[in-house]
Amino acid sequence: MSKKITQVLAKGLALLIIIFNAWPILTAAQVFSPEGQTGFTTIGEEAYGASTPKDVRLVVADTVQIVLGLIGIILVVLMIIAGIQYMTAGGNQTTVENAIKRIKNALIGLIIVLFSYAVTVFIIQQLNLAINSSIT
C-alpha cells in the first residue's frame, strides 16, 4: 500500500515540476503591447477581409452547417464500424443482428442529417438574398 502511495506522490511531484518549468514558456506568448492595438475597425478588416463583418444570422447558419457536417461524419464512421462488426461476426446471430440494427440506425440518422443539411443550405441562401436585397 505504501509503495503505491509513494509512486503516486512521485508522479504528482514530477508533474508539478514539469508544469512549473513550462509555465514561463506558456505565459511568455501573452505579452501586451499598447502600440500593437490598432482599433476594432482594423481588427475587423483583418478578421473578415472587409470593413463590414458577417451578419450574425449567417454566422449561426454556418455554425449549424458545420455541426451537421460533423454529425454526418460521425454517423458514417458508426456505419463503417457496424459494417466491420457485421463482417467479423463469425456466424454469431446476436452480433449480426446488433450490427444490422446499428447500420439501420446510422442510415436513418444520416438521412435525417442530410435532410437537415439541405434545409440549412436553403435557409442560408434565402438569408443571403434577404440581406443583400435589403442593403441595396
Q: Where are the domains of the chain?
A: 54-135
Task: With 0.95 as the threshold, say if the pTM is over it.
Answer: no
Under the banding of pLDDT at 50, 70 and 90, the label for residue 136 is low
Cell of 65: 452547417
Contact 106, 72 (CB under 8 A): no
Task: Enter the DSSP assignment of 90.
Answer: T
pLDDT digit string, tens, across residues 20-71: 666 666 555 555 555 555 555 566 566 666 656 667 777 788 888 888 888 9
> What are the distances in angstroms from CA 136 to CA 52, 55, 122, 123?
15, 15, 22, 20
Task: Enter the DSSP assignment of 53.
Answer: P
